[in-house]
Structure 1
Amino acid sequence: MMTDVLVAHSSDVEKESFYKKTYLHVALSILAFIGVEAVLLNVVPERLIAAMFAQRFAWLLIIGVFWLASVLATKWSLSQSKSTQYFGLAFYVLLEAVIFLPLIYIATVYSGGQVIYQAAMLTIAMFTGISAVAFTSKRDFSFLRNIIVIGGFISIGLIVAGMIFGFNLGLWFSVGMVILASATILYQTSKLKDAYSTNQYVGASLQLFASIMLLFWYILSILMSRRS
């Protein structure tokens, strides 16, 4: 039976179990992403991958479809049905793999696979540090919510404008997005106990996974720009 007890109101044993399951699912999602990405790189034709970047309006359509699908995936991951929750998480992992395909391809071909490893290590280190701050600090990070929402709308507007008018957002935009992703991870981690019940660890892992991938995207973009 599913329960609706918030993590904040559960016992210490239940809290520990929730956090263990959440971060286990985050790790499994990352491993699944790596596996799916490897398959896509070997199956999808190179000309199709190149077209995802070459046609900015096609890419804008992909972003729009991704946003709508991610909303559905999030909704499914918070369902009372375990099978629906896992379907939502798996669907989101597949979406991330598709979105990352052109960037990973370019990083592999033109910058070497080493830059992907470096970006991954930096992402893991930052995520670990931010999570430690969230769990050990007694501060209330609720103030970050409005900053994240406003920053998210601004970033989406700039991305869409860049695609429509064909201008490069540049290094400082990527730096700003790294800061935004870091703030999102800090806020989400600090609010896990207040936003989810003890049986919603799949949905919690999806939210953290999404923020980790956003952080990874822009760290990788920064490292690639330094090598170009």
Structure 2
Amino acid sequence: MMTDVLVANSKDVEKASFYKKTYLHVAVSILLFIGVETVLLKVVPEQLILAMFAQRYAWLLIIGVFWLASVLATKWSLSQSKATQYFGLGFYILLEAVIFLPLIYIAIVYSGGQVIYQAAMLTLAMFAGISAVAFTSKRDFSFLRNIIVIGGFISLGLIVGGMLFGFNLGLWFSVGMVILASATILYQTSKLKDSYGVNQYVGASLQLFASIMLLFWYILSILMSRRS
């Protein structure tokens, strides 16, 4: 972690600058994700994309690699070197684009991309609403941490179990994950000032971006299930 003044202990001008830079980086990350995803859809063979869905053990490998790489990306994004920070954020954006590739492809095939737009608008609206609650409420949301950690382990176990034994987690699992992702955004937003220094906006944006993408994944999954 950088030896930096916590946002909570900084001046109002520095706080405002931190939040502005953090959310600007979140917005740019989303735009870069869209760009990378568009390129991948054009250059990755259709057979390879479909194989990511068809091979459940391949997905286990992908999830394992994704988890390890996410840890590294988060560590890099909090480095003292700005170049390393941006490398970590860029690396994570690429990982998300690869993970989303089969889901986005299927959504385009079945709906022509309309469902993707709907899911994106719902995700942004929920993110804006949750962020507004976090910034305007004086309530302490620290209690959400244990819920998020326990919920994360349970959901990961169910995902791995579903892949190993071939059972469908269903609509209610996706609804539960939307709630978990929303709680994570609420907790992370409320704790930004206590968790990061004024120059750690890249790391803060990575954490928020990751939660937004998790929310988007399951909202898109729900909308697609309603169309099938």
Question: What is the CA distance between 1:3 and its match in structure 2?
Answer: 5.3
SS in 1 for 2:89: helix
The number of aligned residues is 228
Deviations 1:102-129 (CA, angstroms, capped at 9, x unpaired): 0000000012210000000000000000
Partner of 1:224: 224
Partner of 1:86: 86
The answer on whether the counterparts of 1:3 and 1:199 sit within 8 Å (CA) in structure 2 is no
SS in 1 for 2:126: helix
Deviations 1:36-63 (CA, angstroms, capped at 9, x unpaired): 0000000000000000000000111001
Question: What is the CA distance between 1:22 and its match in structure 2?
Answer: 0.0
Question: What is the CA distance between 1:69 and its match in structure 2?
Answer: 0.3
Paired residues for 1:41-190 under 5 Å:
41-190=41-190
Distance in 1, matches of 2:191 and 2:159, equals 28
Q: Percent identity at matched positions?
A: 90
Runs of 4+ in 1 over 6 A off after TM superposition: none
Distance in 1, matches of 2:27 and 2:112, equals 25
Deviations 1:135-158 (CA, angstroms, capped at 9, x unpaired): 000000000000000000000000
The answer on whether the counterparts of 2:192 and 2:204 sit within 8 Å (CA) in structure 1 is yes
Name structure 1 gaps, 5 residues minimum. Answer: none
Distance in 1, matches of 2:133 and 2:58, equals 40
The answer on whether the counterparts of 1:3 and 1:198 sit within 8 Å (CA) in structure 2 is no
Question: What is the CA distance between 1:222 and its match in structure 2?
Answer: 0.1
SS in 2 for 1:191: helix
TM-score, normalized by length of structure 2?
0.99
Distance in 2, matches of 1:162 and 1:124, equals 29
Distance in 1, matches of 2:2 and 2:155, equals 37
The answer on whether the counterparts of 1:185 and 1:212 sit within 8 Å (CA) in structure 2 is yes
The answer on whether the counterparts of 2:2 and 2:79 sit within 8 Å (CA) in structure 1 is no
Question: What is the CA distance between 1:2 and its match in structure 2?
Answer: 7.1
The answer on whether the counterparts of 1:2 and 1:80 sit within 8 Å (CA) in structure 2 is yes
Deviations 1:144-187 (CA, angstroms, capped at 9, x unpaired): 00000000000000000000000100000000000000000000
Distance in 1, matches of 2:42 and 2:117, equals 19
The answer on whether the counterparts of 2:2 and 2:200 sit within 8 Å (CA) in structure 1 is no
SS in 1 for 2:100: helix
Deviations 1:177-205 (CA, angstroms, capped at 9, x unpaired): 00000000000000000000000000000
Distance in 2, matches of 1:173 and 1:104, equals 19
The answer on whether the counterparts of 1:7 and 1:14 sit within 8 Å (CA) in structure 2 is yes
Distance in 2, matches of 1:153 and 1:201, equals 27
The answer on whether the counterparts of 2:2 and 2:78 sit within 8 Å (CA) in structure 1 is no
